[in-house]
Amino acid sequence: MPNASSHQTALVVSGSGRYADAWHPFPRTSALLAEILRETGFEVRIDDDVDAAMARLDDVDLLVVNAGDPWRDDREGAAPSASVEGLDHALERGMGVLAMHLSVGSLRDYPSWAPAIGGMWVPGASWHPEIGDVDIAGGVLPGGTVVDGFTVFDERYCRLQQLGERHVVTTQVTDGERMPAAWVRTHGPARVAVDTLGHDERSYESDGHRRLIGTLSRWAAGAA
Query: How confident is the model at residue 155, as a pLDDT?
Result: 97
- pLDDT at position 7 is 79
Distance of alpha carbon 47 from alpha carbon 193, whole angstroms? 20
- Greater confidence, 208 or 71? 208
Give yes or no for residue 83 having a pLDDT over 90: yes
pLDDT at site 3: 65
Mean pLDDT for 55-75 is 92
Residue 215, SS3? helix
- Most confident region among 5-19, 69-83, 160-174 by mean pLDDT: 160-174
* Domain regions of the chain by residue span: 9-220
Phi-psi region of 6 (alpha: psi -120 to 50; beta: other; left: phi over 0): alpha
Domain 9-220 matching CATH 3.30.1280.10: the answer reads no
How many other C-beta atoms can be found within 10 angstroms of the C-beta atom of residue 54? 27
Question: Which secondary-structure segment (H or E) carries 116?
Answer: helix 113-117
Q: Are 148 and 138 in contact (CB under 8 A)?
A: yes
d(CA 38, CA 89): 26
pLDDT band at 69 (very low <50, low <70, confident <90, very high): very high
Query: For the chain, how many residues are written?
Result: 224
Contact in structure between 36 and 1 (CB atoms under 8 Å): no
pLDDT recorded at residue 2: 47
| CA distance readout (Å), 96 to 25, 92, 195 | 24, 10, 14
**In the prediction, which pLDDT does 73 show?**
72
Tens digits of residue pLDDT in 91-145: 999 999 999 999 999 999 999 999 999 999 999 999 999 999 999 999 999 999 9
Q: Are 95 and 124 in contact (CB under 8 A)?
A: no
Residue 154 and residue 148 in contact, taking contact as beta carbons nearer than 8 Å = no
